[in-house]
Amino acid sequence: MNEAFLSARAVTKSYTMGRRRLEVLRGVDLEVARGDFLALRGASGAGKSTLLHLLGALDTPDSGEIRLAGARLRELSERELTRLRNHKIGFVFQAYHLLPELDALENVCLPARVARVPAAEATARGRELLARVGLGDRLEHKPNELSGGEQQRVAIARALINQPELVLADEPTGNLDSRTGEEIIALLASLRAERNVTLIVATHDAHVAAHAPRVVELVDGRIRAV
């Protein structure tokens, strides 16, 4: 049997809030094959963002193990984790996280510049991606000149600039109206198929989750199939 591209085994995570200890994840087990499109569903506060952050090496679990492309994340150095996040993982957040002083093309190209991709190549990739997400005529617009849906399209292009193997999207439609949200999730699904990336979308919205071939739910800190 082939090893899963991404896996979590008995993963736990808790936080201390004053004198209270809040258990968020209580033994998460999850396997995702390369190229899968998985929707991670759950109520607000269920721990979806926490789990995505662990899967994307933005945080570390209290216990358990996460593997990505055969690598045990806990065994990697900070430098190796930084390189992994920059080269293999693309992140799409609900709040977009675009830099206000940069235009659309500059925002998209930023991870490529961090990865030391030559400027001309980064710009060419950025232009191509912005055209693909329907913003070929918005290259020089800054975030405050773009609608919420357009900003999220910029964020998606930015997530793909370094040709990642894994894209993690945390409530990517949460700040959008229903019609724009449908367009965004359809765009993510289309780009995933075109580029053969593994896509995990965390959402509380059953309509968004319905776009994914596979849906799991986070309940009481554990994963269950839907």
Q: Tens digit of pLDDT for each residue in 15-31?
A: 988 888 889 999 999 99
DSSP labels, 22-45: EEEEEEEEEEE-TT-EEEEE--TT
Q: Where are the domains of the chain?
A: 6-217
Q: Tens digit of pLDDT for each residue in 188-209?
A: 999 999 999 999 999 998 889 9
The alpha carbon torsion through 94, 98, 100, 105 (nearest 10 deg) reads -140
CA quadruple 41, 43, 46, 48: dihedral sign: positive
Say if CB 13 and CB 47 are below 8 A apart.
Answer: yes
Best CATH choice for the domain 6-217 from the list 3.40.50.460, 3.30.499.10, 3.40.50.2000, 3.40.50.300: 3.40.50.300
Q: Is it the case that residue 220 has pLDDT exceeding 70?
A: yes
pTM for the model = 0.93
pLDDT band of 1, cuts 50, 70, 90: very low
- Spatial separation of the C-alpha atoms in residues 125 and 44, rounded to whole Å: 35
Q: Tens digit of pLDDT for each residue in 60-109?
A: 999 999 999 989 999 999 999 999 999 999 999 988 999 999 999 999 99
Q: Which of 122, 175, 123 is nearest to 150 (CA)?
A: 175
